[in-house]
């Protein structure tokens, strides 16, 4: 099956927004065995939109549209499909009632122009939008499919999961698709691929690797006539991968590294504090993003000035004898963070995101250290990347150093 994505809206052509919907949708399609050959962005112009839609409908089995479902004169996705198939748009009383109830529930009267959001054509079904006003359209015509979702990313994703995925399963692929992602830190992509290369060739379930900014993702995807079989296929491979990769795997699916670390710390009733020199609070900010972070994260101390670090308990003689960006200072910072904030664990990152961070050190150098109840470990990395990525990598690898210590 061949698919094509159409992102609709003049704001895309003015560069006012970046089309993140297309990339997100593109990631979903391989799970259904659907090939994507084209993505296009087109503005709110009825003739150009209809022309682009016609070409897509002619050459692809499934056209996935986002945007242009609002109530204004510029929202023309419904009109273009109506033009394409020669089927008039008709107001549906039940949809109109739901739409008026949506506005009523917010104490507002529905503007009359919104009534076009309650229309369908003969070949279309409405797809419910629980988080917005515009229902989507699912169109079947001559054995081909067009699906239209709102352009707002969270509305689009909700509708995709609740409305499009079941229809794809039922009408398009005829099978259940299950997938699971295992997240890995501690090896690079090619090393991970080598470790699992006998499974990479497997066709059901399939196994694919992705390099992401929180490590390597291993994605298992199975296809079967029923849900139980699909789940078993995933589960069997997952067990084998977990045996082989062990603690290189830190999490799965929606789990985040900071959330996993938070869980490990809470299991042990440990509190964590951090000290950062050069990363400016990026590690603390990442920990702050974990759910219920106040239950394990006590606080962060951020500075790259020796006298400030000394005030937080880092040995002054050590600071005089060494660059801040050194294993000695990083280890002393981890211990100082633990002692000065009175926690079980202290984690420190020293890094040079830019050339001017520590003029005596190269940009991209990262040193991390952890103190767990008095046991100290450290590690060093060098990365060539932009400043924000180096700040992020320092935080990620620092948390992974702590994870490895907690596992022991």
Task: Based on the shown chain and the rule CB under 8 A, indicate whether residue 195 belongs to the binding site for a copy of itself.
Answer: no
The SS3 assignment for 180 reads: strand
Task: Based on the shown chain and the rule CB under 8 A, indicate whether residue 133 belongs to the binding site for a copy of itself.
Answer: no
Residue 405 exposed, middle or buried by CB count within 10 Å (0-12, 13-18, 19+): middle
Closer to a copy of itself by Cβ: residue 247 or 292:
292
* Residue of 299, 222, 217 lying closest to 250 (CA atoms): 217
| Cα gap 167→274, rounded to integer Å | 48
Which residue among 13, 131, 200, 321 contacts a copy of itself (CB under 8 A)? 13
Which residue among 1, 17, 195, 379 contacts a copy of itself (CB under 8 A)? 17
* Residue of 281, 374, 364 lying closest to 325 (CA atoms): 364
Using the contact rule CB under 8 A, the part of the chain among 37-45, 106-114, 177-185, 366-374 near a copy of itself is 37-45
Strands 136-141 and 144-149 turn out to be antiparallel
Q: How far is the CB of 35 from a copy of itself (least distance, A)?
A: 9
Which residue among 124, 303, 326, 378 contacts a copy of itself (CB under 8 A)? 303
Q: How far is the CB of 267 from a copy of itself (least distance, A)?
A: 19
Q: Cβ(346)–Cβ(338) under 8 Å?
A: yes
Task: Based on the shown chain and the rule CB under 8 A, indicate whether residue 14 belongs to the binding site for a copy of itself.
Answer: yes
Task: Based on the shown chain and the rule CB under 8 A, indicate whether residue 85 belongs to the binding site for a copy of itself.
Answer: no
Binding residues for a copy of itself restricted to 47-66, rule: CB under 8 A: 48, 52
Q: How far is the CB of 70 from a copy of itself (least distance, A)?
A: 18
Task: Based on the shown chain and the rule CB under 8 A, indicate whether residue 328 belongs to the binding site for a copy of itself.
Answer: no
Binding residues for a copy of itself restricted to 209-268, rule: CB under 8 A: 210
Using the contact rule CB under 8 A, the part of the chain among 14-22, 121-129, 178-186, 371-379 near a copy of itself is 14-22
Which residue among 9, 28, 178, 397 contacts a copy of itself (CB under 8 A)? 28
Give CA separation, 150 vs 4, 108, 127, 137, 285, in Å. 16, 22, 11, 10, 32
Q: Binders of a copy of itself: how many residues, by CB under 8 A? A: 64
Task: Based on the shown chain and the rule CB under 8 A, indicate whether residue 25 belongs to the binding site for a copy of itself.
Answer: yes
Closer to a copy of itself by Cβ: residue 118 or 302:
302
* Residue of 242, 401, 286 lying closest to 251 (CA atoms): 242
| Cα gap 101→297, rounded to integer Å | 44
Q: How far is the CB of 281 from a copy of itself (least distance, A)?
A: 3
Q: Cβ(407)–Cβ(261) under 8 Å?
A: no
Task: Based on the shown chain and the rule CB under 8 A, indicate whether residue 292 belongs to the binding site for a copy of itself.
Answer: yes
Those residues whose C-beta lies under 8 Å from the C-beta of residue 238, and which sit 6 or more positions away, are 180, 182, 220
Task: Based on the shown chain and the rule CB under 8 A, indicate whether residue 27 belongs to the binding site for a copy of itself.
Answer: yes
| Cα gap 337→204, rounded to integer Å | 49
Which residue among 72, 190, 197, 288 contacts a copy of itself (CB under 8 A)? 288
Those residues whose C-beta lies under 8 Å from the C-beta of residue 229, and which sit 6 or more positions away, are 176
DSSP state of 226: S
Give CA separation, 65 vs 78, 148, 182, 370, in Å. 10, 5, 30, 49
Task: Based on the shown chain and the rule CB under 8 A, indicate whether residue 41 belongs to the binding site for a copy of itself.
Answer: yes
Task: Based on the shown chain and the rule CB under 8 A, indicate whether residue 165 belongs to the binding site for a copy of itself.
Answer: no
Which residue among 1, 33, 45, 165 contacts a copy of itself (CB under 8 A)? 45
| Cα gap 257→119, rounded to integer Å | 45
Task: Based on the shown chain and the rule CB under 8 A, indicate whether residue 293 belongs to the binding site for a copy of itself.
Answer: yes
Which residue among 357, 365, 378, 400 contacts a copy of itself (CB under 8 A)? 357
Q: How far is the CB of 303 from a copy of itself (least distance, A)?
A: 3
Closer to a copy of itself by Cβ: residue 245 or 301:
301
| Cα gap 210→142, rounded to integer Å | 37
Structure tokens at 149: 């979702």
Give the footprint of a copy of itself on this chain (CB under 8 A).
Answer: 12-20, 22-30, 36-43, 45, 48, 52, 210, 276, 278-289, 291-294, 298-305, 308, 311, 341, 353, 356-357, 387-388, 391
């Amino acid at each position: 099956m061949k698919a094509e994505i159409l992102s609709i809206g003049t704001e895309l052509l003015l560069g006012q927004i970046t089309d993140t919907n297309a990339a997100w949708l593109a990631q979903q399609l391989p799970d259904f065995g659907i090939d994507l050959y084209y993505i296009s962005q087109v503005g709110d112009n009825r003739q150009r939109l209809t022309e682009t839609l016609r070409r897509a409908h002619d050459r692809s089995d499934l056209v996935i549209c986002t945007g242009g479902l609002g109530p204004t004169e510029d929202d023309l996705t419904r009109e273009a499909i109506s033009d394409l198939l020669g089927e008039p748009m008709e107001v549906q009383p039940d949809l109109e009632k739901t739409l008026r109830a949506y506005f009523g529930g917010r104490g507002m009267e529905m503007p009359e122009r919104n009534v076009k959001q309650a229309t369908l054509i003969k070949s279309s079904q409405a797809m419910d939008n629980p988080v917005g006003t515009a229902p989507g359209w699912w169109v079947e015509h001559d054995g081909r499919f067009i699906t239209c979702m709102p352009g707002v990313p969270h509305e689009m994703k909700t509708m995709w999961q609740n409305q499009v995925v079941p229809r794809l399963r039922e009408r398009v692929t005829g099978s259940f698709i299950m997938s699971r992602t295992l997240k890995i830190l501690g090896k690079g992509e090619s090393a991970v691929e080598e470790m699992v290369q006998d499974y990479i060739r497997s066709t059901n379930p399939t196994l694919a690797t992705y390099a992401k900014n929180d490590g390597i993702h291993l994605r298992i995807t199975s296809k079967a006539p029923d849900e139980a079989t699909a789940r078993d296929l995933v589960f069997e491979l997952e067990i084998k991968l977990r045996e082989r990769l062990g603690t290189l795997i830190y999490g799965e699916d929606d789990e985040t590294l900071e959330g996993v670390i938070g869980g490990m710390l809470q299991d042990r009733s440990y509190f964590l504090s951090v000290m950062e020199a050069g990363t400016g609070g990026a590690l603390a900010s990442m920990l702050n993003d974990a759910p219920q972070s106040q239950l394990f994260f006590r606080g962060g101390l951020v500075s790259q000035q020796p006298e400030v670090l000394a005030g937080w308990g880092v040995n002054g003689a050590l600071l005089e004898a060494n660059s801040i960006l050194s294993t000695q200072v990083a280890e002393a910072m981890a211990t100082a963070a633990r002692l000065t904030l009175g926690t079980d664990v202290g984690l420190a990152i020293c890094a040079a995101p830019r050339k001017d961070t520590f003029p005596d050190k190269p940009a991209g150098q990262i040193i991390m250290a952890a103190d767990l109840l008095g046991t100290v470990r450290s590690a060093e990395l060098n990365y060539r990347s932009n400043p924000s990525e180096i700040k992020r990598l320092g935080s990620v690898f620092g948390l992974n150093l702590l994870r490895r210590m907690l596992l022991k």
